[in-house]
Amino acid sequence: MSTFILNRRNLLATGGSFVAMGASGLLLPARAQGLAPTASMAGGANNYHAHKGAPIVGRIGKGGFVMSGTVRRAGDGMPLPGQRIQIWAHTVEGREEDTRSHGATLTDKNGVFRLEMPQIIPIFGQPHGHLAYDSGEFKTVFLRPIMKSAKDTSLEAHFVLQPA
């Protein structure tokens, strides 16, 4: 069994270690400082402008497929509640340019959004969705995530927004 003797040398060594850890940030909680904003993706705005401002809906069409994700603030990574996300895609019920294929939802208190929609099917050889943040408080971002397989029944997209 070892015995720890508190003397000046041990006190200085222990205190110095704590000061060094504090100065290096090791005693502070992890932070997302420097979290980079999401860049708009090429093709993300396809078939958007004719349907800008799609209504907030509980579901697009008959559902069966889930589009979900998160919305956070650039820099500190804080979740952004109440943010409007517009979603559209080429599905078994309509093409991505059809009004019935567009809808919007709001993020919850944790910055999470979820909207059920019809099964996405490939167009131009790729099964993909379209999402937009365009509410004005932050810079507009368009995303066009591609599914790994046309058989997938869900797709996630994550936004990191910077002030407008």
| 11: DSSP letter | H
What's the domain count of the chain?
1
Q: Does residue 151 sit within a domain?
A: yes
Instruction: Tell me how far apart the alpha carbons of residues 2 and 154 are, in angstroms, rounded to a whole number.
Output: 57
CATH code for the domain in which residue 114 is found: 2.60.130.10
pLDDT digits (tens, 9 = 90+) for 45-55: 676 766 678 99
Which tokens go with 20?
Answer: 């060094």
Amino acid at 69: G
Domain around 72: 49-161
- What is residue 11's predicted lDDT score, i.e. its pLDDT? 47
Q: How far apart are the first and last CA of the chain?
A: 63
Whole-prediction pTM value?
0.76
Best CA proximity match to 153, nearest among 93, 90, 65, 82: 65
Q: Does residue 81 sit within a domain?
A: yes
Instruction: Tell me how far apart the alpha carbons of residues 95 and 122 are, in angstroms, rounded to a whole number.
Output: 10
pLDDT digits (tens, 9 = 90+) for 79-112: 999 999 999 999 999 998 888 899 999 999 999 9
Residues of the chain short of pLDDT 50, as ranges, are 11, 18-19, 23-28, 32
Q: Does residue 14 sit within a domain?
A: no
